[in-house]
């Protein structure tokens, strides 16, 4: 830190010495060349090669102090051709801008926050405007990018409020982290995700969801290492660069109010059956078999059988007939049976088809934003406040967020610009739902292990009541007391709360040395403190009466500092060459502190304080620190505005690596060639053509403290401390991971830009993967940390758009298609390592990387097949494979794509987005245990509970098609131990977004300048699912944001459909 | 230009100068790089007690194979539909060997040697390897747990090699434990070197008697040597010498069966066991089991009842496991009990592997087990004279010989030592048990012979397990243990 302060003071001092240098004020008006459009507000006026600049006011006027010696001003405006004006001694410069029909002067934000013309780039960058993001808002900004960027794949972790989302750019590069870096106004911020695990937990979201789309001017997605080489290690997986809205020079205040409210409902639920209720052996098939076998009297009625052999409630603990069972293999519903149930004796045995649906409620997602902008040419500022209030579709779940965003830019003299970006975000939740295969996840009971006859209304009405069992024990009112809580008890009693206070932002000082050189210093901070507390009440299924209940709470402090200093240059050499670039240095410091305490039992029931612990509280503390240093440089050379070469170089030093490997350098190069310009091709047909090629290397470090073995500690046993040697053999000499990427692409526009195509092919090879490989447990260890292996991802991205209708006064229709395909192969692992387990779930299923195979193979026990691919059947059951695990699927999708249509007619606009993921298998526990437990539609279809199920396949005993019928409950319980029946194809097509907006004419109202109302919808429907997904789970959902968290589903919270309205008013 | 040079210089300083202190910065503040041997010992004793004697290993599997305990809800494991995660405790057991190696290394420190601690680690190592070999047959013994030394694909040893190694290891331990030193962190044997010696030699008896059908010479020599010199080879002498871990009153270290019954009710008494106790008027029955809640009658359930018969009983008609085994948080986990030693002696004398009074040893064994279960002295005398128990060939309901009576009583005394009871029923075939009626593997007439190797061994230890895997049939049968000389079983 001391060194840093020194650098800064020197930096500031060097700037002060020229504070009083001569300056010239230039002013003027910018107008449009299009008839009737007049002055253009919001045009960026910049001193060429610097960040010194201003924007035009509402009347198109600007005024700018420029340093002595300034030669050229540059005028940028979206949709207009960029204008460069030589000053040549003038103090008034009026500019007429022409519409940019070809869109070739579009500017994008690139690495380090440097704005560049898109045409000059030799790699792929996609821009998404803030307007487009805010059109149909989601509480998580990641979700709003869905379907908007080719090559980006988004996975929402669940339908729970506050849930995290994962964003992958160009697929998988590593066995470790594949999340891109998030950068706001040049400073990296955390997007750490705290998703639920597959076995339990609460999804606390991903950190980037603290960003309010209303504050975003634009997002540039830098894809892959090529675009991101200058950000170093962390940008290997691409960068999401966010530029926030800033103040503008203008008269008076600009006030914008926007209000966005949607009503959220469950989009769809799994396909449950409503023909048979709770219990075992209740079907007519088994009833008849038993009669034939003589094990029940021949004259026994189905009513007698059902009430005495199928299901009879006594205590819900197994004391009656299958009343402890949470499966639906019981008697048939709706045929007039009377059976003892949890709510009374001899109750009608009838179906409640909406019992799961009725548990969910309508959530509200309301976001209100007020922003004020003001500014002169000296000082500009914007202040914005957002309040988000959200309730979930699961009762008693919520999220509240208050965001204050302030930016100020001050021009000190004509050489120094100071800018401060500040954000304060407070996020709080009273309760977030439990997820995973856990008693705290309501879907584990009502959506999985359930009596399909249960009337959820009864559970809602009586959840606060207690019942005394025949043995004298007390239990909360519920349909089953063996394995489950009443779902209302779970959501109202066993809460998981959170409060987070976060500050992030940066301070930037730019000092202009001369007309082609400036120096920039930036100090960025991202800090938060987060507090979480989970409580479980006595009487819950895992906290019987007498235990007092339990709780756990933890606090975490995370701080990251990013400082950089760099020198930018930009000058013309002769008339043909334009040279720009930078050299700089970067310092990063990361600190993390964590404290945890928990009580497994309490003395005073339900008093959740550590002083009240029964026994020993569990405690934990953890801290983590590391630093990285870097130097970097970039050189961009442009030749005659059609040939562009970029070279970058970076060297990182990371404290997490062994001393000898702290330092690692890597380069990149890219070339862009606008051949239509070179050859002067006629623009009316082939309007614009550009080819791109690039190559980059990026190194990557590891987490701290991985170099030496340290003992694991355990809660003391009767006061005796316990340690064990870790299960991972530490690495001998860890080296940085290295990714090498190349990209080839082209951009082609036709018919004066009415039709456009952007295509890219890329290939990334990552080797020296830092990975923890499994070793034979006979070595006395579970894993070994090594540097080895090679994975290769290649893919194609396609962006196509067409302005099908274009008319200034009439109907406009634009179609945009994004499509991308990526494939990751595991080329090699370490010597002697045949398999790397990426994830594992219910035994025997694992997700693996094996040499020569695609990444993400689902391995496990499948079904044996004959040479024609028919499944083999023995005694009515499928024959499971034995011995080595077999491939049962692959979690990686074949392709993702989207199609967007925008219509505009005068003040009315309509846009909708449909997106799809094709392929990518999912190991679905909802399907697996849903069939096992007899709750799914599959388990009743085709009259199988009356006649038995005849498995489709070849009988190994006869060689002919199987004819042996077995009881469905036996057939589906044979799923246990097999992987194949749980694997479904994760294909989906979804109606993702809809917005119908209208600009209400407000010309007559002086105070109101713009008023837009729109109807907005997200996730409106699922248009297609693969037939193997007969359970109808949402295939988009994974349980978290980890690399392989997709592909495994365990009682997902159902997806949410949002429909609402938005009002935006500008004053 | 001067200014520019100055700036570049600053940039240089910022990046190159800042690596100082980095070695410390990357030193883990959260975890220790070195710890006292005693803390590792506490861990191994506690953790192994959870691994080997919780409801998953013992309740669901081994005690069910031995027909002591039955699953009464979610009956899968009693039907041999197992969970791979339990088979995968192979790996957990092997990590304990790594921990024990660390203790041995510390104990062998030249500056501050501690032979007693080394002896303790060897006893535990032998104990754990013995359970592994009796579960999986061939195991990596000589090359096991040497991952840190680069042995990444340890070869498997056949059982004769493992058994002979175990005998040697335990002999060494007995010697080491007589030397200087102190035992720290010992929650199993109170840090008493003498108790550890008794444990070591008693365990040696257990190993020897197990191999006595296939290598009677070695077994006889070991047993005679130990029983012939009690000062050089002390063994367990009374119920006070019980090798057991006592759990704590409060979470997180409560007895595993107790912990489980707080939320689950999946385990009841096995029909075979309850019927045997009832037939023989066993006074221990009220200690082993609760009567069925419905009618206060002792009633067990067939281990692994057929699916179609599941509706024929209600769980409250079945006896649950007794108070001392399930209902108190601070109950014991039994590693080895004194009664077993008397039964080993009785068998050795009866089979002339050593010389001594078989009847006295047998009756001492029955008495020890009854006393352990707080049976009144008068009741013990009555029980010993019951024809089912009395030292008299071919008497009682089962018509057992005296040797078979030893086996039968030993089986009863090993309640909740699922592993040992399963091993002994495989060796003696007393009582004769049947395969679970609900087993998905047809054609077997006995409970499992062995466990399959965990799947990860196939993936990660190339070539090694395959030669042994060929012996396995239907996951749990195939080639019998080296010491299992039963015929006509499959």
Q: What is the pLDDT of residues A125-145, one digit of tens each?
A: 888 888 888 888 888 888 888
Averaged pLDDT, B376-384: 96
CB contact under 8 A, B248 and A714: no
Confidence of residue A4 (pLDDT cuts 50, 70, 90): very low
Cβ-contact A630, B38 below 8 angstroms: no
d(CA A1016, CA A995): 4
pLDDT tens-digit readout, B50-66: 999 999 999 999 999 99
Greater confidence (A809 vs A458) lies with A458
CA separation for the pair A264, A345 (Å, rounded):
38
Cβ within 8 Å of residue A611, ≥6 positions away: none
Contact A615 B85 (CB under 8 A): no
SS3 A265: strand
User: Does residue A341 have a pLDDT over 60?
Assistant: yes
pLDDT at A23: 67
Neighbours of A360 (CB within 10 A): 22
CB atoms within 10 A of CB A703: 11
Q: Give the nearest partner residue to A656 out of B26, B252, B460, using CB atoms.
A: B26
Judging contacts by C-beta atoms under 8 Å, the chain A residues touching residue B476 are none
CB contact under 8 A, A547 and B98: no
Beta bridge partners of residue B279, listed in sequence order: none
Strands A496-514 and A416-429: antiparallel
Looking at residue B2, its pLDDT comes to 60
As a whole number of angstroms, the distance between CA B181 and CA B169 comes to 19
pLDDT of amino acid A533: 97
pLDDT one-digit tens code per residue, A758-792: 999 999 999 988 888 888 999 999 998 888 889 99
Average pLDDT value for chain A: 90
Helix (H/G/I), strand (E/B), else coil: B37:
helix
The alpha carbon of residue A19 and the mean position of all alpha carbons in its chain are separated, in whole angstroms, by: 46
Task: Tell me the C-alpha distance between A885 and B424, whole Å.
Answer: 33
CB B171 within 8 A of CB B177: no
Q: Do A834 and B14 count as a contact with CB atoms less than 8 A apart?
A: no
Mean pLDDT of B483-489: 96
Of the two residues A593 and A113, the one the predictor is more confident about is: A593
Give yes or no for B6 touching A (CB within 8 A).
yes
Per the prediction, chain B carries an average pLDDT of: 93
Say whether pLDDT at B8 is over 70.
Answer: no
pLDDT of residue A11: 43
Query: Residue A928: its pLDDT value, please?
Result: 97
Residue A885 with chain B: CB contacts under 8 Å: 455, 459
For B:196-255, CB contacts with A below 8 A are 248-253
Q: Which residues of B touch A296 (CB under 8 A)?
A: none
Question: What whole-number distance in Å separates Cα of residue A590 and Cα of residue A655?
Answer: 11
Q: What is each CA distance from A436 to A397, A763, A923, A987, A1040, in whole angstroms?
A: 16, 35, 13, 22, 10
Once rounded to an integer, what is the mean pLDDT over residues A717-728? Answer: 93
Q: Do B457 and A715 touch (CB under 8 A)?
A: no
Q: What percentage of chain B has pLDDT greater than the value 70? A: 96
Please enumerate in sequence order all residues whose Cβ is within 8 A of that of A242, keeping only pairs 6 or more positions apart, or say none: A182, A183, A184, A185, A211, A216, A218, A219
CA distance A434 to A162: 12
pLDDT at A970: 93
CB contact under 8 A, A778 and B94: yes
Let me know: does B203 contact B336? Beta carbons within 8 Å.
yes
Cβ-based contacts of A780 with chain B (< 8 Å)? 94-95, 97-98, 101, 144-148
Q: Name the closest residue on chain A to residue B15, using Cα atoms.
A: A629
Mean pLDDT confidence for A621-636: 93
CB contact under 8 A, B457 and A777: yes
Residue with the larger pLDDT of the pair A834 and B416:
B416
Distance CA A996, CA A975 (A): 47
> Taking CA atoms, what residue in B is nearest to A841?
B85
Residue A2 has pLDDT above 50, yes or no: no
State the Cα angle at A569 between A567 and A572, rounded to 5°: 175
Side-chain half-sphere exposure of A712, counting CA atoms within 13 A? 12
- Residues A526, A421: contact at Cβ < 8 Å? no
Per-residue confidence at A735, pLDDT binned at 50, 70, 90?
Answer: confident
Q: What pLDDT is stored for residue A178 in this prediction?
A: 86
Q: A55 in the Ramachandran plot: left (φ > 0), alpha (ψ -120 to 50) or beta? A: beta
- How large is the average pLDDT for residues B460-466? 74
Can you tell me whether residue B473 is helix, strand or coil?
A: strand
Mean pLDDT over A275-291 rounds to 95
Cα B22–Cα B28–Cα B30 angle in degrees, nearest 5: 145
Is some CB atom of chain A closer than 8 A to the CB atom of B290? no
What pLDDT is stored for residue A18 in this prediction? 41
Return the H-helix or E-strand segment holding A241. strand A239-244
For residues A114-134, give the mean pLDDT: 82
Residue numbers in A near B101 (CB within 8 A) = 780
Chain B: residue nearest A835 by CA? Answer: B459
Closest CA–CA distance from residue A294 to any residue of chain B (Å): 13
Instruction: Pick A541's closest partner by Cβ from B27, B34, B263.
Output: B263
Residues of B with CB below 8 A from A725's CB? 40, 95, 98-99, 102
pLDDT band at A60 (very low <50, low <70, confident <90, very high): confident
pLDDT of res. B56: 95
Extended beta strands in B316-393, E state: 332-336
Contact B314 A659 (CB under 8 A): no
Q: Is the pLDDT of residue B5 over 80?
A: no
| Chain B contact set for A324 (CB, 8 A) | 73, 265, 315
Q: Are B51 and B333 in contact (CB under 8 A)?
A: no
Pick from A819, A816, A764, A828: nearest CA to A797: A819
pLDDT at residue A99 greater than cutoff 90? no
Higher per-residue confidence, A544 vs B213: B213
Share of chain A above pLDDT 70, in %: 96
pLDDT at A196: 85
Alpha carbon B5 to chain centroid, angstroms:
74
pTM of the model: 0.84
Q: Summarize pLDDT for A452-505 with one digit per residue, the tens.
A: 999 999 999 999 999 999 888 899 999 999 999 999 999 999 999 999 999 999
Q: For residue A570, what is the enclosing H or E element?
A: strand A550-573
- Mean pLDDT, residues B450-454 taken together: 93
Q: Are A1023 and A991 in contact (CB under 8 A)?
A: yes
Among A879-883, B34-38, B203-207, the minimum mean pLDDT is found in A879-883
Q: How far apart are CA A1037 and CA A147, in angstroms?
A: 16
User: A551 pLDDT exceeds 90?
Assistant: yes
* pLDDT over threshold 90, residue A815: yes
CA B183 to CA B146: how far, in whole Å?
Answer: 25
Taking only Cα atoms into account, the Rg of chain B, rounded to an integer number of angstroms, comes to 26
Q: Is A402 exposed, middle or buried (0-12, 13-18, 19+ CB in 10 A)?
A: middle
Q: How far apart are CA A351 and CA A731, in angstroms?
A: 59
Q: Would the pLDDT of A249 be above 80?
A: no
The number of beta carbons lying within 10 Å of the beta carbon of residue B76 is: 18
pLDDT greater than 50 at residue B46: yes
In total, chain B counts a number of residues equal to 490
Burial A237-276 (b: 16+ CB within 10 A, else e): bbbbbbbbbbbbbbeeebbbebbbbbebbbbebbbbbbbb
Q: What is the pLDDT of residue A335?
A: 97
Average pLDDT on A820-829 reads 94
> Which residues from chain A sit within 8 angstroms of residue B461, using beta carbons?
776, 778
CA distance B80 to B86: 12
Cβ of B153 within 8 Å of Cβ of A614? The answer is no
Lowest mean pLDDT among A366-370, A490-494, A559-563, B81-85: B81-85
Distance CA A284, CA A305 (A): 10
Q: How far apart are the first and last CA of chain B?
A: 92
CB contact under 8 A, B454 and A884: no
**CB-closest option in A705, A843, A883 to B83:** A843
> What pLDDT shows up at residue B381?
96
Q: What is the pLDDT of residues A857-908, one digit of tens each?
A: 999 999 999 999 999 999 999 999 987 889 999 999 999 999 999 999 988 9
Neighbours of B182 (CB within 10 A): 11
Helix axes B402-413, B358-372, angle to 10 degrees: 20
Q: Would you say A961 and A886 are in contact if contact means Cβ atoms under 8 Å apart?
A: no
Quick one: closest CA in B to A883, which residue? Answer: B455
- Over 90: is that where the pLDDT of A722 sits? yes
| Most B CBs within 10 Å, among A323, A779, A881, to test the B interface | A779
Residue B25 has pLDDT above 50, yes or no: yes
pLDDT digits (tens, 9 = 90+) for A409-424: 998 888 899 999 999 9
């Amino acid at each position: 830190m001391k060194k840093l302060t020194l650098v800064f003071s020197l930096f500031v001092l060097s700037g002060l010495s020229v504070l009083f240098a001569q300056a010239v004020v230039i002013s003027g008006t910018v107008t449009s060349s299009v008839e009737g459009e007049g002055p253009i507000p919001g045009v960026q006026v910049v001193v060429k090669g610097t960040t010194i600049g201003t924007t035009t006011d509402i009347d198109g006027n600007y005024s700018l102090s420029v340093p002595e010696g300034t030669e050229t001003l540059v005028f940028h405006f979206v949709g207009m051709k960029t204008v460069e004006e030589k000053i040549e001694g003038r103090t008034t410069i009026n500019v007429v801008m022409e519409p940019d029909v070809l869109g070739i002067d579009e500017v994008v934000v690139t690495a380090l926050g440097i704005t560049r013309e898109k045409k000059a780039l030799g790699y792929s960058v996609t821009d998404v405007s803030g307007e487009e993001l805010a059109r149909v808002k989601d509480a998580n900004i990641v979700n709003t990018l869905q379907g908007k960027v080719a090559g980006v794949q988004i996975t929402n972790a669940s339908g729970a409020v506050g849930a995290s989302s994962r964003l992958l750019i160009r697929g998988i590069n590593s066995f470790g982290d594949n999340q891109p870096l998030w950068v706001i106004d040049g400073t990296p911020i955390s997007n750490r995700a705290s998703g639920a695990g597959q076995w339990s937990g609460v999804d606390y979201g991903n950190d980037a969801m603290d960003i309010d789309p209303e504050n975003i001017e634009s997002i540039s997605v830098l894809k892959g290492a090529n675009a991101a080489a200058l950000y170093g290690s962390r940008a290997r997986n691409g960068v999401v660069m966010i530029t926030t809205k800033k103040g503008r020079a203008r008269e008076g205040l600009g006030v914008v109010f926007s209000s966005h409210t949607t009503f959220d409902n469950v989009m769809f639920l799994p396909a449950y059956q409503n023909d048979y209720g709770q219990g075992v052996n209740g079907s007519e098939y088994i009833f008849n078999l038993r009669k034939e076998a003589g094990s029940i009297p021949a004259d026994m009625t189905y009513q007698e059988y059902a009430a005495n052999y199928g299901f009879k409630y006594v205590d819900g603990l197994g004391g009656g007939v299958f009343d402890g069972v949470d499966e639906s293999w019981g008697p048939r519903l709706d045929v007039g049976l009377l059976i003892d149930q949890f709510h009374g004796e001899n109750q009608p045995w009838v179906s409640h088809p909406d019992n799961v649906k009725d548990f969910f409620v309508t959530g509200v997602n309301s976001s209100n934003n007020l922003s004020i902008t003001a500014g002169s040419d000296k000082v500009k500022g914007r202040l914005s406040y957002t309040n988000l209030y959200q309730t979930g579709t699961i009762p008693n779940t919520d999220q509240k967020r208050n965001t204050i965003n302030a930016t100020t830019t001050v021009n000190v003299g004509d050489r120094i610009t100071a800018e401060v970006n500040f954000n304060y975000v407070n996020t709080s939740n009273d309760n977030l739902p439990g997820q995973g295969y856990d008693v705290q996840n309501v879907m584990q009971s009502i959506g999985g292990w359930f009596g399909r006859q249960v009337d959820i209304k009864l559970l809602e009405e009586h959840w606060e009541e207690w019942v005394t069992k025949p043995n004298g024990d007390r239990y909360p009112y519920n349909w089953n007391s063996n394995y489950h809580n009443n779902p209302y008890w779970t959501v109202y009693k066993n809460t998981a709360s959170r409060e987070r206070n976060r500050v992030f932002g940066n301070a930037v000082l730019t000092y202009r040395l001369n007309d082609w050189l400036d120096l920039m210093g930036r100090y960025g901070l991202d800090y938060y403190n987060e507090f979480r507390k989970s409580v479980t009440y006595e009487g819950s299924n895992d906290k019987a009466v007498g235990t007092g209940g339990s709780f756990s709470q933890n606090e975490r402090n995370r701080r990251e500092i990013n400082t950089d200093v760099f020198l930018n240059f930009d000058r013309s050499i002769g008339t043909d060459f334009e040279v720009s670039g930078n050299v700089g240095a970067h310092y990063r410091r990361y600190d993390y502190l964590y404290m945890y305490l928990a009580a497994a039992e309490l003395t005073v029931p339900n008093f959740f304080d550590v002083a009240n612990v029964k026994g020993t509280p569990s405690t934990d503390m953890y801290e983590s620190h590391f630093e990285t240093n870097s130097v970097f440089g970039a050189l961009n050379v442009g030749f005659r505005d059609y040939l562009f070469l970029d070279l970058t170089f970076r060297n990182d030093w990371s404290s997490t690596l062994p001393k000898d490997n702290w330092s690692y350098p890597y380069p990149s190069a890219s070339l862009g060639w606008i051949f239509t310009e070179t050859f002067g091709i006629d623009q009316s047909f082939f309007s614009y053509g550009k080819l791109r090629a690039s190559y980059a290397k990026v190194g990557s470090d590891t987490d701290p403290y991985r170099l030496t073995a340290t003992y694991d500690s355990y809660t003391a046993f009767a006061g005796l401390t316990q340690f064990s040697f870790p299960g991972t053999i530490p690495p001998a000499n860890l080296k940085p991971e290295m990714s090498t990427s190349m990209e080839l692409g082209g951009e082609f526009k036709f018919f004066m830009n009415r039709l456009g195509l952007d295509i890219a092919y890329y290939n990334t090879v990552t080797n020296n993967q830092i990975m923890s490989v499994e070793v034979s447990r006979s070595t006395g260890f579970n894993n070994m940390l090594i540097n080895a292996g090679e994975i290769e991802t290649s893919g194609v991205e396609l962006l196509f758009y067409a302005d099908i209708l274009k008319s200034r006064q009439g109907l406009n229709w634009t179609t945009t298609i994004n499509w991308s395909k990526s494939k990751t192969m595991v080329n090699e692992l370490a010597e002697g390592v045949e398999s790397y387990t990426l994830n594992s779930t219910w035994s025997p299923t694992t997700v693996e990387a094996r040499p020569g195979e695609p990444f993400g193979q689902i391995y496990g026990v499948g079904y044996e097949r004959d040479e024609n691919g028919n499944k083999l059947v023995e005694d009515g059951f499928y024959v499971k494979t034995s011995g080595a695990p077999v491939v049962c699927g692959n979690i990686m999708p074949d392709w993702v794509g989207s199609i967007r249509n925008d219509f505009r007619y005068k003040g009315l606009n309509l846009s909708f987005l449909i997106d799809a993921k094709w392929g990518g298998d999912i190991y679905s526990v909802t399907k697996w245990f849903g069939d096992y437990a007899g709750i799914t539609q599959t388990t009743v279809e085709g009259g199988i509970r009356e006649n038995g199920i005849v498995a489709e396949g070849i009988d190994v005993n006869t060689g002919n098609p199987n004819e042996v019928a077995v009881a469905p409950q036996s057939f589906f319980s044979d799923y246990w131990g097999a992987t194949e029946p749980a694997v479904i194809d994760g294909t989906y097509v979804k109606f993702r977004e809809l917005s119908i907006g209208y600009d209400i004419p407000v010309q007559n109202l002086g105070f109101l300048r713009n008023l837009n109302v729109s109807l907005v919808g997200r996730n409106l429907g699922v248009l297609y699912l693969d037939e193997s997904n007969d359970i109808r789970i949402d295939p988009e959902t994974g349980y978290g944001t980890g690399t392989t968290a997709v592909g495994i589903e365990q009682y997902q919270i159902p997806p949410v459909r949002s429909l609402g309205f938005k009002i935006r008013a500008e004053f | 230009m001067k200014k520019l040079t100055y700036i570049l210089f600053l940039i240089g300083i910022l990046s190159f100068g800042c690596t100082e202190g980095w070695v410390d910065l990357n030193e883990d503040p959260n975890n220790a790089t070195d710890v006292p041997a005693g803390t590792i010992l506490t861990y191994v004793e506690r953790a192994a007690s959870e691994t080997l004697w919780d409801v998953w290993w013992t309740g669901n599997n081994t005690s069910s194979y031995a027909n002591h305990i039955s699953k009464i809800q979610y009956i899968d494991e009693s039907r041999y539909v197992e969970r791979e995660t339990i088979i995968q405790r192979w790996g957990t057991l092997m990590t304990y060997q790594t921990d024990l190696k660390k203790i041995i290394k510390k104990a062998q420190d030249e500056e501050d040697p501690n032979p007693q601690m080394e002896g303790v680690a060897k006893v535990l190592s032998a104990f754990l390897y013995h359970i592994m070999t009796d579960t999986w047959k061939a195991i990596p013994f000589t090359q096991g747990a040497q991952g840190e030394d680069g042995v990444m694909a340890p070869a498997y040893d056949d059982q004769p090699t493992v058994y002979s190694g175990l005998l040697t290891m335990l002999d060494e331990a007995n010697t080491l434990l007589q030397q200087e030193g102190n035992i720290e962190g010992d929650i199993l044997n109170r840090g008493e070197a003498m108790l550890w010696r008794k444990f070591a030699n008693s365990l040696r008896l257990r190993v020897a008697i197990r191999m006595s059908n296939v290598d009677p010479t070695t077994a006889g020599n070991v047993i005679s040597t130990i029983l012939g010199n009690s000062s050089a080879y002390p063994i367990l002498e009374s119920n006070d010498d019980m090798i057991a871990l006592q759990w704590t009153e409060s979470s997180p270290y409560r007895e595993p069966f107790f912990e489980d019954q707080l939320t689950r009710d999946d385990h009841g008494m096995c029909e075979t066991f309850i019927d045997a106790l009832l037939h023989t008027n066993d006074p221990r029955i009220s200690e082993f089991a609760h009567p069925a809640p419905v009618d206060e009658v002792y009633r067990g359930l067939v281990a692994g009842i057929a699916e179609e018969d599941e509706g024929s009983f209600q769980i409250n008609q079945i006896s649950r496991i007794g108070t001392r085994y399930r209902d108190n948080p601070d109950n014991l986990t039994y590693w080895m009990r004194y009664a077993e030693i008397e039964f080993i002696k009785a068998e050795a004398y009866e089979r002339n592997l050593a010389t001594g009074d078989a009847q006295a040893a047998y009756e001492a064994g029955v008495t020890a087990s009854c006393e352990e279960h707080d049976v009144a002295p008068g009741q013990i005398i009555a029980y010993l004279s019951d024809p089912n128990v009395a030292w008299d060939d071919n008497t009682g309901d089962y018509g057992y010989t005296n040797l078979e009576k030893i086996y039968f009583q030993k089986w009863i005394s090993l309640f909740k030592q699922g592993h040992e009871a399963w091993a002994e029923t495989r060796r003696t075939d007393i009582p004769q048990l049947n395969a679970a009626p609900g087993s998905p593997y047809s054609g077997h007439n006995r409970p499992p012979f062995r466990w399959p190797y965990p799947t990860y061994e196939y993936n990660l230890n190339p070539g090694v397990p395959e030669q042994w895997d060929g012996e396995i049939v239907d996951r749990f049968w195939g080639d019998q243990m080296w010491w299992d000389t039963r015929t006509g079983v499959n």
